[in-house]
Amino acid sequence: YIFENYAVLKAKLIKKGHHFVSATDTEVSAHLLKHFYRNDFAGAFRRTVGELKGYFALVAMSAKDPGQILAYKRSNPLIIGLGKDGNFVASDVSAILPYTKRVIYLEDEDLAVVTRENVEVISLKTGKRRMPKVETVSWDVNEAQKTGYPHFMLKEIYEQPAVVRNILKERI
């Protein structure tokens, strides 16, 4: 992902007294969160993603409320796994398959508030809560491994005929 306007935001934040320790665009999001925070982490997070331009997924936690994860999706993949012992946020299903097969695929402009027991999804397009569809992943973590290939890219190249067959089988 990339924040297209990070240089402009960084310059504004530096003028307001923020000190950066890296040259990455990601650090801008942390400083924006700090800048907007007024005892309302979700509000600061919402304002932060509203300021950022580009295509990205962003996940944040606050030390003041460590039981809550905030997640936002704009174009980049972001999923929530619903587990028996808690909920997970990841950019890829294979990361959570050892823990759960029940997932929510966030849509663009979705902001999710994730706790151990609950997931609330708000569409920032409409400003309203939405009931996300919970799906069950039908494959297992072994299918996401290299299974003998030296690289994932080589594995993906050799899997293409089977992938095309499966896609066509579902639609024709």
Q: Would you say the pTM of this structure is higher than 0.85?
A: no
Question: Is residue 151 pLDDT above 80, yes or no?
Answer: no
Q: How far is CA 111 from CA 36, 59, 79, 124, 133, in A?
A: 17, 10, 11, 7, 15
Q: Per the structure block, which two tokens stand in for 74?
A: 């704009």
How far apart CA 75 and CA 146 sit, in angstroms, is 26
Q: Each residue of 46-101: pLDDT tens digit?
A: 999 999 999 999 999 999 989 999 999 999 999 999 999 999 999 988 889 889 99
Task: Quote the pLDDT of residue 145.
Answer: 66
Q: Which of 58, 60, 67 is nearest to 109 (CA)?
A: 58
The pLDDT mean for the chain works out to 90
